[in-house]
C-alpha cells in the first residue's frame, strides 16, 4: 500500500482542499478522505461512499508522470 496527501489550492467552495488517499500496488485508490475549506469531510472506500466522495476511476499517476504532463 501507498499513501498520499494532496493540498489543492483553489477558490472552489464545492471542491476539497485536502485529500488523503490509500493506493494499492497498481496505484488504484482503495480509500480516500476529502476535507473542504468549510471543514466538511467526505470518505470513500471500495464498499462505502459518504459526503459525495468517490474513488478515482483510473489509477493515479506517479509524481514523475504528473510532473511530465505539466
Q: What is the pLDDT of residue 69?
A: 73
The torsion angles phi and psi of 66, rounded to 5 degrees, stand at -65, -40
CA distance 33 to 55: 10
Which pLDDT band holds residue 62 (cuts at 50, 70, 90)?
Answer: confident
Q: What pLDDT does residue 70 have? A: 64
- The confidence score (pLDDT) of residue 64 equals 77
**Position 68 pLDDT exceeds 80:** no
Nearest 5°: the CA angle 35, 20, 22 is: 145
Per residue in 12-43, pLDDT (tens digit) is 989 999 999 999 999 999 999 999 999 999 99
Domain ranges of the chain: 2-68
Amino acid at each position: 500500500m501507498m499513501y498520499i496527501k494532496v493540498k489543492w489550492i483553489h477558490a472552489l467552495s464545492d471542491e476539497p482542499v485536502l485529500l488523503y488517499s490509500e493506493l494499492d500496488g497498481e496505484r488504484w485508490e482503495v480509500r480516500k478522505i476529502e476535507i473542504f475549506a468549510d471543514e466538511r469531510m467526505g470518505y470513500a472506500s471500495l464498499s462505502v461512499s459518504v459526503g459525495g466522495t468517490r474513488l478515482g476511476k483510473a489509477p493515479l499517476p506517479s509524481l514523475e508522470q504528473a510532473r511530465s504532463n505539466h
